Amino acid sequence: MQSSSNLFPVALISAERRGDLSEDIYRLKPGNSPDSTVELAVTRLGMADEPAARGVPVILLHGSFSNRRFWFSPKGLGLGAHLTRLGFDVWIPEMRGHGLSRRNEDYRRNRVADYARYDLPAIAAFVREQSGQVPHWIGHSLGGITLAAALGGEYLGEPAVASAAFFGTQVSRTYWPLKIPPVEWSGRFILKRFAQLSGSRLKRGPEDEPIGLALESMRWYGLFGRFGDKDKDWWAGLADVKVPVLAVSAAGDHQDPAWACRKLYEQIGSETKQFINLGREQGFSENFGHVEMLVSKAAQADVWPLVARWLADQQTPLVGEKPDLAAAV
């Protein structure tokens, strides 16, 4: 089969109509990481009756235990569908072993470091090739962490990122037991016996997560841990990020609290950046939760319009007279 890209092997594996939307699914085989079996599924949404009408590209990154359905349901609902109907060119990748992305040979050792160093740059290159434009990026939870790692590690930069939006994203919450070396060592010993964490058993979502991801996060939160890998300090690198940034927390999010999300925001060096905390005190209809901040009827009314406004204009404050007035932590 002829490749859909001049960059690396890409196959169009599905082309369907979903109501008023078109859904094209590509399978990318970048071959740029040590594991040559990695394949990434990327869904492109468009208007079914206007296939040539493609606007500014937006890449949506799902969080842990999740897949593309976080952004786009089979019934054509979700932020991805909403942005498509507004004229944006929406792309939804699925990380290694999630959704339509097959599990690679070394699946159990997959880490954010791999997603950030290899997968996101390949996705960025493909989207730029197909759209002819620099994409905006939106990440939720682990998707945002991966985006932050890619920016802080300089695996992605201005040639591949028009702006970056982080929803429920933080790496500063303290897990005190992990600061005790024997506890961390015992946890690692136990976790290494497993290949994956089950999203359904843990009631966290429809997908599993590789154990490598859990071991990596334990290192971040350990006694002398840092947000980075052995080669680079991603946290320090965030201070050099120049692209426009939007950071959004949720007042009812106990998993990734507002104060921790704000620390990530403050570390980013961009001159153009805004922070918003979604809660009643800030004028929103409710104190949003970790998932509800993007997937709920209230989010459709309160949050989705903010996202669209951000993508159209990163200079104008979304809430209040100044960007920081949106934050109450």
Chain centre distance of CA 307? 14
Task: Single out the residue of 251, 238, 239, 232 nearest to residue 292, CA to CA.
Answer: 251
List all residues 6 or more positions away from 192 whose beta carbon is below 8 Å from its beta carbon.
211, 215
- pLDDT confidence band for 319 (50 / 70 / 90): confident
Query: Positive or negative CA dihedral for 171, 142, 124, 266?
Result: negative
**How far is residue 34's CA from residue 326's CA, in Å, rounded to a whole number?**
43
Per-residue pLDDT, 104: 97
For residues 66 and 98, the answer to whether their CB atoms sit within 8 Å is yes
Per-residue exposure over 221-249, b if at least 16 CB sit within 10 Å of its own CB, e if not: bbeebebbbeebebbebbeebebbbbbbb
Q: Side chain identity at 70, as an amino acid letter?
A: F
Kindly tell me if the per-residue pLDDT of 267 is higher than 80.
Answer: yes
Q: Which contacts qualify for 8-14: CB closer than 8 Å, 24 or more apart?
A: 8/32, 8/122, 10/126, 13/41, 13/100
Measure the CA–CA gap between 16 and 160, rounded to whole angstroms: 28
Taking the model in full, what pTM does it have?
0.92
> Rounded to 5 degrees, what angle do the CA atoms 307, 313, 314 make?
85
Sequence-distant (≥ 6) Cβ neighbours of residue 103 within 8 angstroms: 96, 97
Average pLDDT over residues 16-43: 96
Q: Mean pLDDT, to the nearest integer, of 304-316? A: 97
Q: List, for residues 192-229, the tens digit of each pLDDT value.
A: 787 788 999 988 999 999 999 988 988 887 766 789 99
Give the percent of the chain with pLDDT over 70. 91
As a whole number, mean pLDDT of residues 152-181 equals 85
SS3 for 61?
Answer: strand
83 near 308, Cβ under 8 Å? Answer: yes
Averaged pLDDT score across all residues of the chain: 91
Q: Is 90 exceeded by the pLDDT of residue 303?
A: yes
Cα three-residue angle 62-244-314, rounded to 5 degrees = 95
As a whole number, mean pLDDT of residues 19-42 equals 96
The DSSP line for 197-257 is E-TTTTTS-SS-EEHHHHHHHHHHTSTT--SB-SS-BHHHHGGG--S-EEEEEETT-SSS-
Structure tokens at 266: 């403050």
* pLDDT value of residue 225: 77
What is the Cα–Cα distance from 265 to 281, expressed in whole angstroms? 20
8 A C-beta contact, residue 238 and residue 268: yes
- Interacting residues of 280 by C-beta distance below 8 A, sequence separation 6+: 251, 286, 287
Question: Does position 122 have pLDDT exceeding 80, yes or no?
Answer: yes
pLDDT score, position 329? 32
Q: What number is the average pLDDT over the span 28-39?
A: 96
Residue 180 in tokens: 């005790």
Report the pLDDT value the prediction gives residue 243, as an integer from 0 to 100.
97
Do residues 62 and 140 touch, judged by C-beta distance below 8 A?
A: yes
Instruction: Give the C-alpha distances (Å, rounded to integers) separating 5 from 39, 116, 125, 264, 293.
Output: 14, 21, 10, 35, 35
